[in-house]
Amino acid sequence: MTETAPATATMTPSTRDGSHHVLVVTDVTAGYGPVPIIHNVDLRAESARLVALIRPNGAGKSTLLKTIMGILVPRNGSIMLDDTPVHGLRPDQIVRAGIGYVPQVGDVFDHLTVAENLSVGGIIAKKSREAKREEVLTLFPVLAPRLKQRARTLSGGERRILAVARALMGSPKLVIMDEPSAGLSPRAMNLVWEHLEILRNDGLALLVVEQKAKAIMAIADWVYVLVDGRNALESSGETMLANVHDLGRIFMGQQLTLNTERVVPEGE
Ligand SMILES: Nc1ncnc2c1ncn2[C@@H]1O[C@H](COP(=O)(O)OP(=O)(O)OP(=O)(O)O)[C@@H](O)[C@H]1O
Ligand SMILES: [Mg+2]
């Protein structure tokens, strides 16, 4: 998958400024039954970059994340984490290999405190849990005064931040998030975005599925659009945002070009 306008290409096969490909998904087909939901999907995530996967509903975004996490086994294609194949591994093995997952539901344990949630996330920590917790609290100071608070009493934004912090306790190379802003007020959403940017600046690779397309385009380095389980479009967040008025038609299959971007017709 390539981008034809060099001026807008912020992610390339050979990376710039020290970032590197952490996740490379190639030609992946997967689904729940005999009929695949995602077809021959390609996707890349880089260190210190935020990659977003946006609308439309039912396109197969969550299915792709579940396939990356080993919840579904791909029928063909490869999923490489730092040049090591992870397709075919169990979800717990994939977490240990270095992918943190923040699902849309069930992201934290409601009845446990903030400290206990972090502790559960640290079961696979490569350094001592205490040291890792200090590191995570330094990144996300909003959690520090709330360690003894039960997760169910947190605000929506604080809860999502705890979910991300919990994923970080395993020292992942890549964090995958399914709709981090779901159900949040604009203020809470901003709090979550700010924390994603902190993680990116800290060198982590981020892959985020998001319904709030414009908001995520504004901060994403690279954006993918899947339509009917296939790669339909990809570009820098900036370019996608500048062409946002065309996206509705692309989602409906009415238009297959977006200025300088390469568009993959169905079936290719
Ligand atoms: N467990 C399942 N068993 C069978 N089909 C499923 C299952 N989960 C999802 N699907 C189907 O797979 C298709 C893609 O679903 P998926 O959840 O991946 O979409 P999505 O892009 O995440 O959508 P949304 O933006 O609404 O979350 C849908 O048609 C859905 O009905
Ligand atoms: Mg989904």
**Which CATH number belongs to the domain containing residue 218 in this structure?**
3.40.50.300
Print the domain residue range for 236: 1-8+17-98+173-268
- Provide the percentage of residues in the chain whose pLDDT is more than 90: 46
Of 3-17, 82-96, 145-159, 161-175, the poorest mean pLDDT is in 3-17
Q: Tell me the C-alpha distance between 238 and 83, whole Å.
A: 29
- The angle formed by the CA atoms of residues 19, 44 and 104, to the nearest 5 degrees, is 110
pLDDT at 8 exceeding the cut of 90:
no
Average pLDDT over residues 50-54: 95
User: Do 180 and 55 sit in the same domain of this protein?
Assistant: yes
What is the torsional sign of CA 99, 103, 15, 261? positive
Q: What is the pLDDT of residue 252?
A: 63
5 vs 208, more confident: 208
Residues 149 and 260 reside in one and the same domain = no
Q: Are residues 83 and 40 in the same domain?
A: yes
Q: Which of 29, 37, 181, 227 to mutate to test the pocket of ligand 1 (most atoms within 8 A of CB)?
A: 37
CA distances 128 to 83, 123, 148, 169, 171, Å, are 27, 10, 20, 10, 11
Mean pLDDT, residues 172-200 taken together: 87
- Which atom from ligand 1 is nearest to the alpha carbon of 226? 21
pLDDT value at position 70? 93
**Whole-prediction pTM value?**
0.85
Residue 58 has a pLDDT of 87
Say yes or no: 25 and 86 in one domain: yes
Does 164 share its domain with 185?
no
40: helix, coil or strand?
strand
Ligand with smallest separation from the Cα of 212: 1
Residue to substitute in 61, 64, 181 for testing ligand 1 pocket (most ligand atoms within 8 angstroms of CB): 61
Higher pLDDT, 264 or 84: 84
The residue nearest atom 17 of ligand 1, judged by CA position, is: 62
Residues with CB under 6 A from ligand 1: 32, 37, 57-63
Average pLDDT, the chain: 83
